[in-house]
Amino acid sequence: MANSKYEYVKKSELDDRLPQYNWIVVRIDGCHFKRFTSDHEFEKPNDECGLNLMNSCATAMFENFPDIVFAYGVSDEYSFIWKETTEFYERRESKLLSLSVSFFTSAYVMNWKKFFPQKELKSRPYFDGRVVCYPKSWMIKDYLSWRQADCHINNQYNTCFWMLVKTGKTVGEAQEILKGTHKEEKNDLLFDNYSINYNELPAMFRKGSSIYRERVEETVKLDDNGEPIKRSRTKVIVGHVDIIGDQFWKKHPCILKEK
Amino acid sequence: MANSKYEYVKKSELDDRLPQYNWIVVRIDGCHFKRFTSDHEFEKPNDECGLNLMNSCATAMFENFPDIVFAYGVSDEYSFIWKETTEFYERRESKLLSLSVSFFTSAYVMNWKKFFPQKELKSRPYFDGRVVCYPKSWMIKDYLSWRQADCHINNQYNTCFWMLVKTGKTVGEAQEILKGTHKEEKNDLLFDNYSINYNELPAMFRKGSSIYRERVEETVKLDDNGEPIKRSRTKVIVGHVDIIGDQFWKKHPCILKEK
Amino acid sequence: MANSKYEYVKKSELDDRLPQYNWIVVRIDGCHFKRFTSDHEFEKPNDECGLNLMNSCATAMFENFPDIVFAYGVSDEYSFIWKETTEFYERRESKLLSLSVSFFTSAYVMNWKKFFPQKELKSRPYFDGRVVCYPKSWMIKDYLSWRQADCHINNQYNTCFWMLVKTGKTVGEAQEILKGTHKEEKNDLLFDNYSINYNELPAMFRKGSSIYRERVEETVKLDDNGEPIKRSRTKVIVGHVDIIGDQFWKKHPCILKEK
Amino acid sequence: MANSKYEYVKKSELDDRLPQYNWIVVRIDGCHFKRFTSDHEFEKPNDECGLNLMNSCATAMFENFPDIVFAYGVSDEYSFIWKETTEFYERRESKLLSLSVSFFTSAYVMNWKKFFPQKELKSRPYFDGRVVCYPKSWMIKDYLSWRQADCHINNQYNTCFWMLVKTGKTVGEAQEILKGTHKEEKNDLLFDNYSINYNELPAMFRKGSSIYRERVEETVKLDDNGEPIKRSRTKVIVGHVDIIGDQFWKKHPCILKEK
C-alpha cells in the first residue's frame, strides 16, 4: 500500500517559522479558570497554594526549555520569554506554542497533589496559549510592564471587591462601590474599613512572580585546610519584584541582552 | 498606575483566524514518547492500555469540543477534524491548537491511573501539535488515508521488527533483515517464522482508531403495553475500520458534508 | 569578496505560497484615481475611453497569464480570478500580486495613447492590489456578485449625482437629495427629471465588464468544393452581462469547474 | 439590490499588517528582462541609459513615498528601505508591495522616452516585487552589503564574459574560461587581454546606485550687502559608493537610526 499518492496533503502544512532575531513571548492562560477555581474552592482573591502550583510549573519549564530566559506569572496566566536567537525546533510557532502549553498542563496536573494534598482534582484544568514576537528588547520590557501593571490594577480591585463581598456586600453592591475609584481611593477603602495596608500585602499578590536564572557561588565542600571550595552555578530564581522600573534590568543585564 | 502607555504591545498580536470554509485538522503527537513509553515499559510494538488511554482522551475531546466531527489516532498521535464552518474562538489558530493540545494532555495525565493502575507516572507526558487547513472534504479523506496508510506501513514493519528482536536478533540485524522488504514478504516472514497471520492481529493495531458521532436509537423505557419507547440520541463511536475506501464514508455521509 | 556571510538575510524571506486548491483573486484598484481622472478630464460618471483602456489592459492580462480564467472590471478596479490549480510561480502571493499589478500598470501607460490620442499623460497612473483566496467556487460566484452589485449601486448613485451636478446643483445639494433614496426613487429621479431610462444606459456602465475565454469555431479557408474549413480556437471575450444570476455560469460551466 | 448577503466574502481578506518596529525592504526586480534588454538592444554588460532610467524611477519613488529612507539599485533590481516606524497604509504588506511596484513600473514606461529618445518601447516592461522585514538596523546593513557584494561578483563576471564574447569567443567558451576563477584572476584577465583596469570602470557599474536624502545648505539669494542668504533643505542624492564598510553609515547616522 504505497502512501505516496496521499502525501500531497503535507504540502498544506505551512512554514510557520518565526522571524529571526525577534524575542518570542509564549503566554499561557487558564481556560474557564473562574469555574475551575470555584469548583476547587480556591481562596479569593489570591490562593497562595494555587499560585505556588503555577510557579512550580513555570520553574519546570525553565528546566525543560533552556532557551526561556524570563517568565512572569500572575493569577492563572504565565508569560515565557524565549531568547531572540533561539533555534528551538527552528523557531516553528506551532511547536513552541503546543509544547509549552502541553508541558505546562502536564506539570499542573502532576504537581497538583503536592500543593493541594487534601483536594481531589474534580475537572480537567487546561490552558490556552499564544505566541507574540517582539523585535526589540525594550519592547519586551514594555510587554512585561504591561502585564505587571495589569497585575497591580486587577489585584487592587480584587482585594477591595472580595473584602466587600466577604463582609456582607452583594456582588452588585461591591461593583457599584468600586466603579470609577482611583488607586488612592481603593487604598483608603482597604485601610479605613479593614485596616489593611495594601503595600504590606504579600509581594507575590501585588507584584506577581518573576522567574529567571542567576549565577550563584556555592560552597561545594571544604578543602584540606577547612577553606570552602566554591563553584559557580546557574540557579533558577522565583522573585516578586518590580520589573517596571529600570533597577531590576540594570542588575540583570544579561537576561535581555541583544546580539 | 495607568496601563495605557504599554498597551501598544498588544498590536504585535497577529490576527490568526483560519480561512473560512476550510476543514481544520489539529494533529497531536507525543513528544519524546520513545523515551516515555520505554520509561513506562509499554508493550511493543503496541501497548493496548496505552492505545486505550489515547482513545479515552480523544473521546473526551469530542465531549468538550462539539465542533470536532472526526478523529483518527494511531500510536502516540491523534488527528482531530473540525467542521469547515466552526466558529470556535473565531477560528483562531492559536486557540484551536493550544486548547486542543492542553485539554488532551490534561486528560492523559488524569486518566493514566485508570488505564495503568499498577504504574506510577515517572515523567511528564506532553505533546506537540499543529494545525492544517484543507479547502475540500475530499482532501480530508486523502489526509486520513495518508495517516491510515502510514499506520499500516509502520505497524507491519514494527510487528516484524519486534518479533525479530524478541526472538534474539539485535536491533541492527532486525533492521538489516527488513530493509527493502515488500508487504508480502513481511507477511510471509511473520507467518513462516512465527505463525502469525498479520490480518488476524487486532484491528486497533492494524487500522488505528476512528472516532465519530452516530445517531442511535435506544430503548429508554417500556410503555404501559410493554412496548419499548425509543429515543434517538448521538453517541460517540470508537471504531477500527478501513477509512481509505469509500465504504465508510458512504455509510456516514454527514461527517464530511459540505455546505 | 565572499557573499556568504551576508546570505543569512535571505532567511527572513517568508514562504508565501498560497494554500492548495483555492481559487485566487487578485484585485487591482486605481490609486488616487479621483485626482487622476480629474486631471485628465475623464467624462463623469463614466468615461467610455477610460473603461475601454482598462478593458484593454485586462485583456492583455489574459494573454500574458494563461491561468487567469475570469476577470471582472468596474470603474478603476479589476478583479482577476486565477484557477484553483494554478502553479504559477508556485502560487507565491508576492509574485502573483506584483506581476499582476506591474503588468497591468505597464499596459495602462503603454495603451494610453491608443485610447486618448488627444490627451497627454500628465501624471503617473498607478494601482494598488490585493490577493484573496477562496476555497470553493461558489464563493467566487459570491465574490463576483458582490462586485457587480457594488457596481450597480455605485453607478446608479453616480449617474443621479452627476446629472444633478451637471444641471446646476452643488455637490452638497446633490448629496442631500440622494441621501437615503432607494433604487426605485433613483430610477424615478432620472426618468422624471432627465428622461433617462436607467436600464437603457450602456450595459458596460450598468453591468461592468466580464472577460473570459470561449471556444469558437472559425472558418479558416474554403476547401476545393468551396465548403468552409472550420477550426475551433479559444477567444477572449469581453462582455457586459449579468453574473449574479445562474444563467451565465450554466452557459459557461468550464470557467469555475472544480477538480 | 442589497449587497449585504455577499459581503461575507470580505472576511476572507487577511490582515497583512507587517510587524511593528521592523525595517521593511521592498525589492523590485525586472521580469524577463534578459529578453526585454535584448529586444531593446541594451549595451552589455551595463547599459548606462538603462541604469539611469532605473535611477530616475527610484528617485521618483523618494518623492512619492516619503517613508522610504534608502534605496539601492543594481542591474534591473532595486531595493527600497522603509523606515521602521512607517505607518503608510497601516504597514499593510499588499499595499506597500503593490503601490511600490506599480508606481515604479509607471515611471519606467513614462520616463523611457527621456532616456531612450531613439528607441520605441516594443514590449511591456514589468517587475516582480517582494517584501522582507528586518527587526534590527544592523540587519539592513547586512542586507545592503549582500546586494552590493552580489553586484560586485556579477559585474566582474559579466565584464569578463562580455569582453570575451565581444572578442570572438562563443558563450560556451567564455563560460569555460571563467569557471572557478577568483577575483584576482578575473582582474588579470581584463588587464592582460584588454588593458582594462577593473577598478577604473565607472563606479555606477561596480558599486551600484545608492539613493538617500541629505540636508544641504543652498544660497537662495543675496542680501542687501551682497551676502548669500542660505537655507537648509533636503535633497535626494544618487551616489555610487561603498555601503559595505562602516564609513558611509558613520557619515549618515540618521538614515538607519533606531528609536
Report pLDDT digits (tens) over B200-242: 999 999 999 999 999 988 888 899 988 889 888 999 999 999 9
Q: Write out residues 32-91 of C within 8 Å (CB-CB) of D.
A: 60
By the 8 A CB rule, do A208 and A148 touch? yes
| B20, B135, B259 member nearest C21 (Cβ) | B135
For residues C20 and A8, give the distance between their C-alpha atoms in angstroms, rounded to a whole number: 10
Q: What pLDDT score was predicted for residue D1?
A: 47
What average pLDDT does range A131-148 have in this prediction? 98
Cis preceding linkage at C202, omega within 30? no
Domains within chain A, CATH numbers bracketed: 19-152 (3.30.70.3000)
- Give Cβ neighbours of residue C35 (< 8 Å, ≥ 6 apart): none
User: What chains are in contact with A, requiring at least 3 Cβ pairs below 8 Å?
Assistant: B, C, D
Which positions in chain B touch C139 (Cβ < 8 Å)? 20-21
With contacts defined as CB-CB under 8 Å, which chain C residues touch D121?
110
- CB of A102 within 8 Å of a chain B CB? The answer is yes
Question: Could you tell me if D133 lies within 8 Å of chain A, comparing CB atoms?
Answer: yes
Distance from CA of B108 to the nearest CA of A (A): 8
Contacts of B22 in chain C (CB under 8 A): 19, 135
How many C-beta atoms surround the C-beta of residue A258 within 10 A? 14
pLDDT (tens digit per residue) in A223-239: 898 888 988 899 999 99
* Burial class of residue C158 in the structure, from the number of CB atoms within 10 Å of its CB (0-12 exposed, 13-18 middle, 19+ buried): middle
CA separation, residue B234 to residues B60, B215, B217, C72 (Å): 15, 4, 9, 47
User: Would the annotation count D76 as a binding residue?
Assistant: yes
Residues in chain C, pLDDT under 50: 1
Which of B72, B67, B62, B101 lies closest to B83 in space, CA to CA?
B67
Dump pLDDT digits (tens) for B75-105: 999 999 999 999 999 999 999 999 999 999 9
* Number of CB pairs, chain A paired with chain D, less than 8 A apart: 27
Cross-chain CB nearest to D19 (options A20, A133, A258):
A133
What distance in Å separates the CA atoms of residue B48 and residue B204, rounded to the nearest whole number? 9
Query: What residue of A is the nearest CA neighbor of B96?
Result: A128
Top residue of B7, B9, B13, B15 to mutate, by most chain D CBs within 10 Å, is B15
Say yes or no to pLDDT of A120 above 80: yes
Average pLDDT over residues B44-50: 97
Residue C142 annotated in ligand binding: no
- Cα Dmax for chain B: 78
The chain A residue lying nearest C21, using CA atoms, is A12
* Per-residue confidence (pLDDT) for residue A162, from 0 to 100: 96
Q: Is the pLDDT of residue B1 over 70?
A: no
Interface test with B, best of A105, A127, A157 (most B CBs within 10 A): A105
Which of B14, B17, B20, B23 to substitute to test the interface with C, most C CBs within 10 Å?
Answer: B20
**What confidence score (pLDDT) does residue C2 get?**
59
Mean pLDDT, range D86-94, rounded to an integer: 98
pLDDT band at A199 (very low <50, low <70, confident <90, very high): very high
Q: Which residue of D22, D84, D141 to mutate against A (max A Cβ within 10 Å)?
A: D22
CB contact under 8 A, D129 and C13: no
User: Higher pLDDT residue, D219 or D239?
Assistant: D239
In this prediction, residue D220 has a pLDDT band, given cuts at 50, 70 and 90, of confident
Distance from CA of C196 to the nearest CA of D (A): 20
Cross-chain CB nearest to C21 (options B21, B136, B259) = B136
Average pLDDT in chain D: 96
> Does residue D211 have a pLDDT over 90?
yes
DSSP state of C200: G
In chain A, residues with a C-beta closer than 8 Å to the C-beta of B124 are 60, 103, 106-107, 110
User: How many CB pairs below 8 Å do chains A and B form together?
Assistant: 150
* Cβ–Cβ < 8 Å for D216, D235: yes
pLDDT at residue A1 greater than cutoff 90: no
Closest CA in chain D for residue C31: D99
Check CB contact under 8 Å for C20 and A12: yes
Write the CA distances from B35 to A1, B122, B125, C87, integer angstroms.
29, 11, 10, 42
Q: Does B6 touch chain D (CB under 8 A)?
A: no
What are the binding residues of A for Mg(2+)?
29-30, 76
Cβ of A15 within 8 Å of Cβ of C11? The answer is: no
Distance from CA of D13 to the nearest CA of B (A): 9
Q: In sequence order, what DSSP letters do the residues of chain A get, joined into one string?
A: ---GGGGGGGGGS---BPPTT-EEEEEEEETTHHHHHHHTT--SS--HHHHHHHHHHHHHHHHH-TTEEEEEEETTEEEEEEPTT--GGGGBHHHHHHHHHHHHHHHHHHHHHHH-TT----S---EEEEEEEESSHHHHHHHHHHHHHHHHHHHHHHHHHHHHHHTT--HHHHHHHHTT--HHHHHHHHHHHH---GGGS-HHHHH-EEEEEEEEEEEEEE-TTSPEEEEEEEEEEEE----SSSHHHHH-TTTT---
> In chain C, what residues touch D14 (CB-CB under 8 Å)?
132
Residue whose C-alpha cell reads 480629474 in the numeric block: C38
User: Directed axis angle between helix A93-115 and helix B93-115, to 10°?
Assistant: 40
pLDDT of residue A218: 86
What are the binding residues of B for Mg(2+)?
Answer: 29-30, 76
Q: For residue range D37-54, list pLDDT tens digits in order.
A: 999 999 999 999 999 999
| D4, D7, D9, D122: best to mutate for the C interface, most C CBs within 10 A | D9
- Residue B214 is which amino acid? E
Measured between CB atoms, does C141 come within 8 Å of chain B? no
The mean of the pLDDT values for chain A is 96
Residues 10 through 29 of chain D touching chain C, CB cutoff 8 Å: 10, 12-14, 28
Per the DSSP assignment, residues forming a β-bridge with C78 are C28, C73
Neighbours of chain D (3+ CB pairs under 8 A): A, B, C
